[in-house]
């Protein structure tokens, strides 16, 4: 007799939640399969992937420009070119490492990519500070430090959240 009320209560709970209907279980399984299929470097995940290729290409060109223009700058401002080269090498190294992790589909990629974003942002802030405090006049239509910092903030927030919250990222790199 003790089992009877318990079984009755259990069957009532199953009816209330439609758990006794086998079609609901198949819907749950189909939904789970759909989420499990979200893996691979597609959709929004393609943008960081392509961005890393572009970063590597752009930094190589920027380092070439820095080296070629270093002799044209007053010696007291040459440190700015040297710092720019060092900053670019750091970002380039992180971009190459992140790209390698992309190809390997490594679990470390989301963390390393977030570090890449943070370092990129910090370097943008440092560069803006150095440029603004150097008394150099720069053509703001060519390079605007404030705009670079703004882009860095937006990119950092958007891609940090994506790397932390995306089901596709978790299925591709973490699971």
DSSP state string for 1-67? --HHHHHHHHHHHHHHTTTT-HHHHHHHHHHHHHHHH--SS-GGGHHHHHHHHHHHHHHHHHHHHHH
User: Average pLDDT, stretch 50-74?
Assistant: 85
**pLDDT category, 68, cuts 50, 70, 90?**
confident
For 150, the 3-state DSSP assignment is helix
- Decide if pLDDT at 94 tops 80: yes
Distance (Å, whole) CA 55 – CA 96: 9
Q: Is the model's pTM score more than 0.75?
A: no
Distance (Å, whole) CA 161 – CA 48: 13
pLDDT, position 3: 47
- Decide if pLDDT at 7 tops 70: no
pLDDT, position 171: 75
DSSP code at position 141: T
- Decide if pLDDT at 16 tops 70: no
The larger pLDDT score, comparing residue 73 to residue 147, is at 147
Helix (H) or strand (E) holding 151: helix 145-165
């Amino acid at each position: 007799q003790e089992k009877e009320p318990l079984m009755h209560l259990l069957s009532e709970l199953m009816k209330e939640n439609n758990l006794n209907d086998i079609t609901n279980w198949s819907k749950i399984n189909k939904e789970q399969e759909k989420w499990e299929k979200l893996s691979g470097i597609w959709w929004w995940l393609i943008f960081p992937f392509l961005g890393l290729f572009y970063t590597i290409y752009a930094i190589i060109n920027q380092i070439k420009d820095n080296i070629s223009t270093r002799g044209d700058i007053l010696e007291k401002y040459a440190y700015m070119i040297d710092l720019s080269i060092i900053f670019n090498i750091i970002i380039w190294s992180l971009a190459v490492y992140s790209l390698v992790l992309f190809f390997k589909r490594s679990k470390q990629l989301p963390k390393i990519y977030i570090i890449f974003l943070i370092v990129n942002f910090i370097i943008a802030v440092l560069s803006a500070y150095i440029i603004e405090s150097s008394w150099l006049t720069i053509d703001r239509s060519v390079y605007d430090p404030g705009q670079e910092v703004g882009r860095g903030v937006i990119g950092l927030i958007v891609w940090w959240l994506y790397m932390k919250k995306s089901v596709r990222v978790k299925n591709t790199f973490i699971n």
